[in-house]
Structure 1
Amino acid sequence: MNLLALQAKIKSASDKMRADDNTKNALRYLEQLTWLLFLKVFDAVEETHEMVAEIDGTTYHPLLPKQYRWATWARSSLTGDALIDFVSGDLLPHLREMSGSPRAERIAAIFTEIRTVMKSGYSLKEVIAIVDSIDFHALENHHAMSVIYESLLAQTSDAGWSGEFYTPRPVVESMVRIANPELGERVYDPCCGSAGFLVGSAQHIEGSLKTTEQREQFNHSTFYGQEAGDIAALVGTMNLVLHGVEDPQIVRRNTLEQDARNFSPSEQFNVIMTNPPFGGTENPQVQQNFPSKSAATELLFLQHCMARLADGGRTAIVLPDGVLYRTETSFSTVRRRLINEFNVTAIVRLPTGVFPTAADTRTNLIFFGKGGRTETIRYYQVPPPPKKRSYSKTNPLTQSVLEGAERWIIDGVPDTYSWEVDYDTIVASGFDLDIPWPLAGSVTDGSNADERLEDVRGRMATLLDLAQSLVDANASLADYPLLPTVTLDAWIEESGARAGSATPDRLVGVSNDGGLAPFKGAPAKDQSRYRRLEVGDFVYNPMRVNVGSIALCRREEETGWVSPDYMLFRLKPGAPFDNEYLLTFLKSERGRAEIDRESRGAVRRRLYLDGAKNISVPVPGDPETWSALIASFQAVKRHLRDLPAAAYGALASFESAAFGERTDA
């Protein structure tokens, strides 16, 4: 049976169910078709076991009693009301009550909520005959059924159901190749839906199977999933069975109802791949299961994956842009944990339209492992289709578009759309991971105007979101309490060792906006009094600190030697605030007023270190929420700084395209 013939059979069955009074709704007939297909597939697997046992001279005991085997009831003379009575009153109740083994209990869990049965027993008999005519022993049909089933899922848009679990095949395959699951590893999807990631992993691993023991491991202890939806759990289980995994470990469960703070090593997995639902909200009771409470389902699923990842394991997850930059305390805290406690290796930035059910949502593929903190992240910007703003159902993403990302992440082979960001840069940005493609504004010919315009659109959308976060924060300042002030005298100490006989090798200056950069002026003849700037040091120009000329050295490449006229200090251990909080305060209006009050001099006022020690600083009442707020300030400033160059570059590219040589008639 070829693909077209099989497709015709599925369409014929669907048409008959659409005409039935009880299965007109797409979800209803999809449920009916799914459980019929599952029982037919399951019976084919049981037949295979029986044939192998007979050849081996052993005995195999089928899981289902003979009267409930597909070959018995589906091929019997039952029809009309008698068939409906058997299915509704005997078969389905038995399946729901199965027990005695993990396989039996999994089937019972799958069928717990299955209720859809066609109203007409005669039409049901016709559909059963169509399903029975499909030969599941033929290997080519396994792949064909997967293609047909995924096309059915993609077309089912009722209540957004398909959007909860349908991920385009090129995205799945690319994520599987990058994550590279291997036999002996436990592969898990916490919201597996139709099990696309697990099926992709099975196809990736199956070629390495050599022995019966390896096949047993592949069948019973490699693929794990959880899924809240009853139909989706059935679809996922059947999809894996169709792809040769006889006993997939899929559990019907609301993943977010599990306590993410108490998973033991035995409950963790080596490889996690998932596309969690995002844009939804969870109730406060469910939020109590997570270290950082949030109503956003995408952030809760990310924390779940972090909690269930085994040491040395790796995760590949689809997440919307907001997770990278949103500044609410929960988002900021989770990003800090992700960067400091896990190794984020890559972020693939996707254009809009890749996921048809969320066409306007900007998404990312994020890859991270457990074992050491993040050092360097490989970013990749997937371009939109030529001369288009985004992908769509009629112009979908293809596998070839993701090949550049795979070469960059797996083999370290860069191209125009790849770049790297190191840990210190991420820290300096307040753990904002929404880092745009740096070349977006650098090319002014018309060849990539669409990419650059889309980049600007995305940057502006991010700025609007960040601005709304600030509006919300400003409306609820009680969430950012301040305790009584303390003077800096007890919490800072002078730093900056003199050069003495050493020769300063890199001179550093401080700009009025608080940036550190190589000093461009001529050095003094006597450099022995120059002072060493190290990571964690504050440095300021005593005559211009009141207008913002104060900086924090955050990264090794910013270290060097500064003029002996500059003041250097650092926070002592145990200070009631961190470096970022203190810097933000000193550059604020209230901080500048404190600086003016402690500055000395009749003509040119200066802030000496003794004066700096007298500055009064309010103590943050909740350091975690204040860190998130300060991160939002930093994110807004960075995006505002980067936007003009990108916008002007995009306009120049568009002008070049508009006035370039072209034929429109």
Structure 2
Amino acid sequence: MNVNSVVKSIRNIMRQDKGVNGDAQRLEQLGWMLFLKIFDAKDEDLEDMDETGNYVSPIPEEYQWRNWAANDEGITGDELITFIDRELFPELANLKSTDGRTQLVRDVFGGNNNYMKSGQLFRQVVNELNKIDFHASKDLQVFGNVYETLLKELQSAGSSGEFYTPRAVVEFMTQMADPKLGEKVLDPACGTGGFLTAAIEHIRDAGVENIEQRKQLQNTVHGMELKPLPHMLAVTNLILHDIEVPDISYEDSLLRNQSIKGKNRVDVILANPPFGGNVDEATASTFPVGFRTKESADLFLVMMVNYLKQGGRAAIVLPDGSLTGDGIKARIREMLLRNCNLHTIIRLPNSVFKPYASVATNLLFFEKVSSPAEDMEEFATKEIWYYEHQLPEGSKGYSMTKPIRLEEFDKEKDWWENREESEVSWKINLSEVIEKAVQNAHPHYEKEKELKRAAYSLKEKLTQLKREDKTNGEIEKLEKQLRESESGARIAKQTADSIYYGAFDLDYKNPNKVEEDLGDPIKMLEKFRKAEQEMEALQNSILDELSDAFQNK
């Protein structure tokens, strides 16, 4: 049985249905149907393994796939659509039990939709799905690969592309972060679960040999996802990777920042948080005042530092916009550099995330040294290594048909353990940068203090004069001096902040890059003028020929 041909047939059937519009809706439709079939297959496995015979599925018997879908001659037409829309979805979205598997079902059917309107076409899709045996390891493995291809297609499915990170990027980051069995792994914006499945397979490859270790792996990989479609796809993804009860919360992880305690902290974070979007005021207000912003990527960075244990490590994707900028952005980077050792930044080409996004992105690797609450004086980051990832030779950019490949990161892997500066790599001595910024900013901060003291003294004098009800020109003179002192203090602080926080601008360009030699500018200008003259002569020649042609007509 060819799994690829089954999936292709399903998509062609769905395209005929008037209720399903676009790739994202087709994937959502296929997603919840797959979830229900795979869940039922797992239920059957659990029933077979339960020697007591007491296992009961969280899905009521009449809604289990085997009892309404498995028979190819089963219900169809309007009866089937009515059953799906008025019975199956409402019942499964409102299951009462609170155990983990029940919660998964409730979240999936509470947040997704049945778009299909034709019961006949729906039955055809069901019958195609019945050709895949999710008990058979071969079918399961093949379908896992097909499912990854489906998720990849999210890149072109409108705004849904934000939920998918290229597999090569995910695997490289996971290999470098190197999560181990027993370590808690978190992706607080897990999308379709790419980082979680990569972590699972990475840990398995290192050795998961018995039932206890399988349970340990099951209980230490955790994700969070706010939107229903990627949440459902992530849950299904982990089930396909043999995780019995995926630990993926259906929630806004940013709202957790205030309540993170020691028991919640993790060893490893792998994430590509959403960027370019704004969060609402209520969410931003849950963060410390100095870090409050509506830029989602910046808030995720604050939260991820908070989530890491001391000694924990992270590998995350961030846009160029999070490496630079003043104000709150600069304070967030200061916090990161003070409390974490940001040892590596891999700079990626703009086209890695096309067609969903064309912004320049970076892979940041850091380890947590201290908590922001400890108010450390020393900075944990002393130096930062940069590596500029190169496009394959002859390539102008990545695309859907020519994505970035894992083997392209072999050069970074070779460099990782034996770092040297080159045309594509360089090191920034951050300690020196910060020390110089502190020295240069110091006179301006001192001037601010001096002007503030002067302003305070002037205020006291003004209060005394007003109390004595003096009406001569002294008050006006002092008020003018006060305004000048306060204004001067503000300017001095702005200048000092600009110098100090400038040290935390991480948007360093490659100083070792050999620029293309464009030649002598004077000779280039002469060539340009000659080309212009040749163009003008050609245009005149064409005009003359046209003129002759019209006159001879």
Distance 1:331 1:143, change over 3 A: farther
SS of 2:50 mapped into structure 1: helix
The gaps in structure 2 that reach 5 residues or longer are: 371-379, 452-484, 525-553
1:181 deviation in Å?
A: 1.0
**TM-score using structure 1 length:** 0.65
Q: CA deviation at 1:355?
A: 0.9
SS of the aligned residue for 1:312 comes to: strand
What letter matches 2:152 in structure 1?
A: A
2:425–2:512 CA contact under 8 A, matched in 1: no
Match in the other structure for 2:517: 652
| Distance in 2, Cα, partners of 1:637 & 1:161 | 29
Q: Which amino acid aligns with 2:409?
A: L
Change (3 A) 1:583 1:269: same
Aligned residue runs from structure 1 range 265-664, under 5 A: 265-291=262-288, 292-326=291-325, 328-372=326-370, 373-409=380-416, 411-414=417-420, 416=422, 417-428=424-435, 579-583=439-443, 628-631=497-500, 649-652=514-517
1:367 Cα offset (Å): 0.9
**For the structure 1 residues 85 and 335, does the alpha-carbon distance in structure 2 shift closer, same or farther, using more than 3 Å as the test?**
same
Partner of 1:43: 40
Is residue 75 from structure 1 mapped to residue 75 from structure 2 by the alignment?
no
Q: Structure 1 CA distance, aligned partners of 2:506 and 2:352? A: 30
- Residue 356 of structure 1: how far off its partner (Å): 1.3
Matches of 1:351 and 1:625 in 2, distance apart?
Answer: 34
Equivalent in the alignment of 1:52? 49
Question: Aligned to 2:191, which of 193, 203, 220?
Answer: 193
Q: Give the CA deviation at 1:278.
A: 1.0
Change (3 A) 1:176 1:387: same
Equivalent residue for 1:254?
A: 252
Task: Find the counterpart in structure 1 of residue 29 from structure 2.
Answer: 32
* Structure 1 residue 287, shift from structure 2 partner: 1.4
Return closer, same or farther for 1:585/1:153 CA change in 2, 3 Å cut-off.
same
What's the counterpart of residue 143 of structure 2? 145
What whole-Å deviation, never above 9, does each CA across 1:505-552 have from its counterpart, x for those lacking one? xxxxxxxxxxxxxxxxxxxxxxxxxxxxxxxxxxxxxxxxxxxxxxx5
Q: Deviations over 1:61-117 (max 9, x none)?
A: 333232222111112421112211221122112211123212212321222122224
Output the amino acid matched with 2:517: A
Structure 1 runs not aligned, ≥5 long: 429-551, 555-577, 592-615, 660-665
Cα distance in 2 between the residues matched to 1:52 and 1:132: 23
Match of 1:470 in 2: none
Q: Equivalent residue of 1:50, what SS?
A: helix
Q: How many residues are paired up? A: 473
Q: Which residue identity lines up with residue 414 of structure 2 in the other structure?
A: R
In 1, Cα distance between equivalents of 2:259 and 2:506: 38
Contact preservation (8 Å) 2:433, 2:503: no
Q: Looking at secondary structure, tell me which structure has more helix per residue.
A: 2
- Contact kept? 1:181, 1:201, Cα under 8 Å: yes
Taking structure 1 as reference, are residues 230 and 628 closer, same or farther at Cα in structure 2, changes over 3 Å only? farther
- SS of structure 2 residue aligned to 1:407: helix
Judge conservation of contact 2:24–2:160 (CA < 8 Å) in 1: no
**Aligned mate of 1:63, from 58, 61, 69:** 58
Check whether the contact 1:181–1:271 (CA below 8 A) recurs between aligned residues.
yes
Distance 1:289 1:654, change over 3 A: farther
Aligned partner of residue 652 in structure 1, secondary structure: coil
Corresponding residue number in structure 1 for 2:9: 12
Q: Distance in 2 between matches of 1:342 and 1:635?
A: 13
Kept in 1: contact 2:333–2:504 (CA 8 A): no
Change in 2 beyond 3 A, CA 1:99/1:311: farther
Please tell me the residue identity of whatever aligns with 1:93.
P
Q: 2:441 is aligned with what amino acid?
A: Y
| Aligned with residue 261 of structure 2, among 255, 261, 264 | 264
Deviation at 1:586, TM superposition (A): 10
Instruction: Give yes or no for contact 1:620–1:626 (8 Å, CA) kept in 2.
Output: no
- Cross-structure match for 1:136: 134
Distance 2:492 2:414 in 1: 41
Match of 2:171 among 169, 173, 190: 173
Report deviation, 1:414: 4.3
1:119-134 superposed matches below 5 A:
119-134=117-132
- Give the drift of 1:381: 1.3
Q: Deviations over 1:7-36 (max 9, x none)?
A: 111111111111111113322222111001
Judging changes above 3 Å, is the alpha-carbon distance between structure 1 residues 414 and 407 closer, same or farther for their aligned structure 2 residues? Answer: farther
The Cα of 1:146 is off from its aligned counterpart by 3.4
- The yes-or-no answer on 1:111 pairing with 2:114 is no
- State the alpha-carbon separation in 1 of the partners of residues 383 and 501 from structure 2: 22
CA contact (8 A) 2:355 2:399 kept: no
Letter in 1 for 2:403: P
Q: Structure 2 CA distance, aligned partners of 1:653 and 1:96?
A: 65
Aligned-residue CA RMSD (Å): 3.4
In the alignment, structure 1 residue 84 sits paired with structure 2 residue 81: yes
Corresponding residue SS for 1:111:
helix
1:653 is displaced (CA, Å) by 7.2
Q: Secondary structure at the match of 2:387?
A: strand
> In structure 2, what is the Cα distance between the partners aligned to 1:78 and 1:63?
23
| Letter in structure 2 aligned against 1:314 | R
Separation of aligned partners in 2, 1:654 and 1:324: 34
Distance in 1 between residues matched to 2:104 and 2:94, nearest whole Å: 10
| Residues 347 and 387, structure 2, Cα contact 8 Å, conserved in 1 | yes
Instruction: Name the aligned partner's letter for residue 320 of structure 1.
Output: P
The answer on whether the counterparts of 2:182 and 2:220 sit within 8 Å (CA) in structure 1 is yes
1:584 to 1:173, Cα distance in 2 relative to 1, 3 A: same
SS class of match (1:135):
coil
How many Å separate the matches in 1 of 2:491 and 2:209? 57
**Maintained 8 Å contact 2:340/2:368:** yes
Q: TM-score, normalised by structure 2?
A: 0.78
TM-superposed deviation, 1:131:
0.9
**Could you say what secondary structure the match of 1:314 adopts?**
strand
Corresponding position of 2:547: none
Change (3 A) 1:19 1:633: same
Give the distance between the partners of 2:492 and 2:93, measured in 1 at CA: 51
The one-letter code of the counterpart of 2:224 is Q
1:262 aligned partner, one-letter code:
S
Q: Name the residue aligned to 2:533.
A: none
CA distance in 2, matches of 1:579, 1:259: 38
Structure 2 distance, partners of 1:304, 1:638, is: 22
Q: 1:176–1:637: structure 2 CA closer, same or farther, 3 Å change rule?
A: closer
Partners of 1:49 and 1:305 lie apart in 2 by 36
